[in-house]
Amino acid sequence: MTQTRISGSFRDPSGFVFRHDGALYRQVNQVYRPHYDAAVESGFFRAAMDEGLLVPHVEVPLAQVPHDDGASVMLRPDELPFVSYPYEWCVSQLQDAALLTLALQRRALEHGLWLKDASAYNVQFVGCNPVFIDTLSFERYPEGRPWVAYRQFCMHFLAPLALACHAHVGLAGLLRVNVDGIPLDLASRVLPWASRVRPALLVHLRLHAQAIARHAQTKEGAAVAQPRPVSRAALLGLVDHLERTIRRMQWSPAGTEWADYYDHTNYSAEAAASKQALLAGLIDELQPRSVWDLGANTGVFSRLASSRGIPTVAFDVDPAAVERNYRQGRKERDARLLPLVMDLTNPSPDLGWDGGERLSLAARGPVDVVMALALVHHLAIGNNVPLAWIARFLRRLGRHVVLEFVPKSDGQVGRLLASRDDIFPDYDAAGLERAFAAEFELRRRLPIEGSERLLYLFSARN
Amino acid sequence: MNANRSTNSIARWQFAILVAALLGARDAHAYLDPTTGSMILQGIVGGAMAGLFVVRRQWAQLKGWFSRRRAAGTDSSQAPSGRDAD
C-alpha cells in the first residue's frame, strides 16, 4: 500500500491531492465541509462539471482510502494525460485559462459561492481544452467582502498577458522565475507608457501595485486601513471588466516564424508525402500510449499521432509556432494534442518549494514514443551538443525515438554551417548510429524519398 | 479613502464594527493573503465597476431587443458569437 501526496498540493488547509495504490484522490478536510456542502447543494459542482469547466470527480467512501482525522469527504478526480505549467503556455493558452477562471467566478457567484484563489496553476489543459482542476477553490460567498483572489488573478494572468501582448512575448517567461505570479509593480514598470496608461491596465496593474505598496504593514502597531464593503454587483462588474480587458489582448506575432515554416525547409512534395507515410506506418506499428513531439513547430506531424487518438504533446521553442498550433487545435476542440512552449536546450526544471512543487520535463516522462524530426541538427550543430549526449537526453524522455536525421548535404544544415567553421566531423548517419548505440537499439533506417534525409526508429536497450 | 476621516468618531466606530462583522470569520480558510491595498482598491473602483456592469447589461438587452424587432417575422434565434471559453 503506497500513498504519496502530490508535491504541489500543500498550501490549502481545505484538502490535498494524493496518490494511493496508483489512483488519484482528493481528501476534503472538515474545515472545508460547509463550503463543500454548499457547492454540492447549490448545484454548482454539477453545473460546472456538466459544462466541462471543472474537472469531474466522484465521491468515494472514506473508509475505502487511508486518511487522517481531519478528513471529511474523499473524492476521486479524473486524471489528466499530462501536467503542464503556465510558463509553458503560449499567449492564447494563458488567455483561455484566465477566461475560464473568470467564467467560473461568475458561475460560482450565481450559486452563492466564489473563488478563494485565482492561481494559474488551478488550470490544466486536456489537449487544447482548458479545465479547472482545483475543486476546493470554491467557498461560500461572504456578502460584502472584496474579492480575496483579485491580486493573485492580476499577478498570474493579467500581468503576464499584458507584458506578452504590449511589451514582448518573451516576458511571459517571467512566470518561471516568479512562481506566484508577476509582481504588479514590475509589470507596470516594464510596460511601455502607452499601455501603462490604458484605463484597464492603469487600474488593475499600476494603481493596484501602488495601493498594495501604500498599505503594506511597515510599522509595528500602525493602524490598518479598513476596506469598504464591496457589493456583489461590484464583484460581477470587476469580473466583467477583467474579462473584457483580457479578451481585448491579442498577440499578433511579427516576424518570419508566423509565415509558413515549411516554405523555408527543403521539402519537395514527394519528400513531404514520403515522410508522412513512413511516420504514419511507424506510429501504427508502435501503437504508443502517448507521444511527445520535440520541436513540433505547428504540429503537422504531431497530428499524425493525435488524430489516431493518441495523447500527444507538441513542444516547440517558438511561441509563435505553438500559438498557431494551439489556435488550430482550439478551433477543432482537439482533446488529444497539447501544444507547449519548451526550449529543449534549457527545459523546464524542478521548481517551487524545495524544488518539488513543479516537475521538470524529464520528471513528467518517459513516454512511449518521442519524435525528434529535423531536430537533432539544431541541437548538435546549432547548440554544439555531442550526439551521445543527445541520445542520453532522449532516453530520459522516451522508450522509443523516431528521429529524422538531416545530413550536412541538406540545405537546412548547410544554413547552420554557413557562417561558422565545420567542427563536426562525426555528424553523419554513421556517427549518429554510433552515438545512439549505447542507449538504443537501431530498429529501422528509412530513407525519405526525394531527399537525403533518413527516418530512424530507435528503441531503448533497457 | 477619505470617507472615514470626514465622519465623526462614533460613526467611524460603527462603520468599523460593521466592516469587521462583514469581514467576519466565515472565510477563515481563505489561505491567501489578499493584501489590504488590493481590497481597498476594490472598495474604490467597485462602485464604478458595478455601474459599468449595469450599463453594459442594459445596453446588451437593448441591442438584443432591437435586433429581435428587426428580425421579426423570421424564427432565427440569436446565436452566441465569440469565443466558447465562457
How many Å is the maximal CA-CA distance in chain B? 64
Q: Does the beta-carbon distance from B32 to A225 stay under 8 Å?
A: no
Nearest CA in chain A to B24: A142
B72 min Cα distance to partner chain A (Å): 30
Q: How far apart are CA A227 and CA A52, in angstroms?
A: 36
Among the partner-chain residues A139, A229, A233, the one whose CB lies closest to the CB of B22 is A229
Q: Does the beta-carbon distance from A230 to B46 stay under 8 Å?
A: yes
Q: Is B11 within 8 Å of chain A by CB? A: no
Q: Does the beta-carbon distance from B83 to A247 stay under 8 Å?
A: yes
The predicted pLDDT at position B75 comes to 52
Q: Is B17 within 8 Å of chain A by CB? A: no
pLDDT tens track, chain A, 462 positions: 467 888 788 889 999 999 999 999 999 999 999 999 999 999 999 999 999 999 999 999 999 999 999 999 999 999 999 999 999 999 999 999 999 999 999 999 999 999 999 999 999 999 999 999 999 999 999 999 999 999 999 999 999 999 999 999 999 889 999 999 999 999 999 999 988 788 999 999 999 999 999 988 766 656 677 788 999 999 999 999 999 999 999 888 765 454 455 545 557 889 999 999 999 999 999 999 999 999 999 999 999 999 999 999 999 999 999 999 999 999 999 999 999 999 999 999 999 999 999 999 999 999 999 999 999 999 999 999 999 999 999 999 999 999 999 999 998 999 999 989 999 999 999 999 999 999 999 999 999 999 999 999 999 997
The predicted pLDDT at position A42 comes to 97
Q: How far apart are CA A280 and CA A49, in angstroms?
A: 35
The predicted pLDDT at position B86 comes to 38
The predicted pLDDT at position A236 comes to 95
The predicted pLDDT at position B27 comes to 44
Q: How far apart are CA A405 and CA A34, in angstroms?
A: 59
Q: Is A247 within 8 Å of chain B by CB? A: yes
Nearest CA in chain B to A242: B49
The predicted pLDDT at position A146 comes to 95
Half-sphere exposure of residue A31, counting CA atoms within 13 Å on the CB side? 14
Helix, coil or strand: residue A15: strand
Nearest CA in chain A to B20: A226
Q: Is A200 within 8 Å of chain B by CB? A: no
Q: Does the beta-carbon distance from A215 to B20 stay under 8 Å?
A: no
Among the partner-chain residues A13, A146, A203, the one whose CB lies closest to the CB of B31 is A13
Q: Is B72 within 8 Å of chain A by CB? A: no
pLDDT band at B79 (very low <50, low <70, confident <90, very high): very low
The predicted pLDDT at position A223 comes to 66
Q: Which residues pair with A17 in a beta bridge?
A: A26
What pTM does this model have? 0.89
Candidates A131, A238, A245, partner chain B, best to mutate (most B CBs within 10 A): A238
Q: How far apart are CA A296 and CA A318, in angstroms?
A: 10
Among the partner-chain residues A139, A208, A240, the one whose CB lies closest to the CB of B29 is A139
Q: Is B51 within 8 Å of chain A by CB? A: yes
How are strands ordered across the β-sheet holding A312-316? A337-341, A312-316, A291-294, A367-373, A398-405, A454-460, A440-447
Q: Is B6 within 8 Å of chain A by CB? A: no
* Domain boundaries, given as residue ranges, for chain B: 39-71
Residue of higher predicted confidence among A34 and B34 = A34
Q: Which residues of B24-50 are buried (b: 16+ CB within 10 A; e: fewer)?
A: eebbebbebebbbbbbbbbbbbbeebb
A301 min Cα distance to partner chain B (Å): 27
The predicted pLDDT at position B78 comes to 46
B70 min Cα distance to partner chain A (Å): 27
Identify whether the C-beta of residue A242 lies closer than 8 Å to the C-beta of residue A102.
yes
Q: Does the beta-carbon distance from A212 to B26 stay under 8 Å?
A: no
Q: Does the beta-carbon distance from A238 to B23 stay under 8 Å?
A: no
Q: Assess whether pLDDT exceeds 80 at residue B3.
A: no
The predicted pLDDT at position A226 comes to 78
Q: Does the beta-carbon distance from B85 to A227 stay under 8 Å?
A: no
Q: Is A140 within 8 Å of chain B by CB? A: yes
Task: Determine whether B66 is exposed, middle or buried from the number of CB atoms within 10 Å of its CB (0-12, 13-18, 19+).
Answer: exposed
Among the partner-chain residues A203, A210, A243, the one whose CB lies closest to the CB of B45 is A203
The predicted pLDDT at position A389 comes to 98
Q: How far apart are CA A21 and CA A33, in angstroms?
A: 26
The predicted pLDDT at position A259 comes to 46
Going from the C-alpha of A447 to that of each of A277, A294, A331, A406, A434, the distances in angstroms are 12, 20, 35, 11, 18
Among the partner-chain residues B39, B50, B85, the one whose CB lies closest to the CB of A103 is B85
CA nearest to A137, candidates B25, B36, B31, B39? B31
Q: Is B40 within 8 Å of chain A by CB? A: yes
Residues 6+ apart with CB under 8 A from A133: A55, A77, A80, A122, A123, A124
The predicted pLDDT at position A5 comes to 87
Nearest CA in chain A to B12: A226
Q: Assess whether pLDDT exceeds 80 at residue B20.
A: no
Q: Assess whether pLDDT exceeds 50 at residue B19.
A: no
Q: Three cell numbers at A442?
A: 537501431
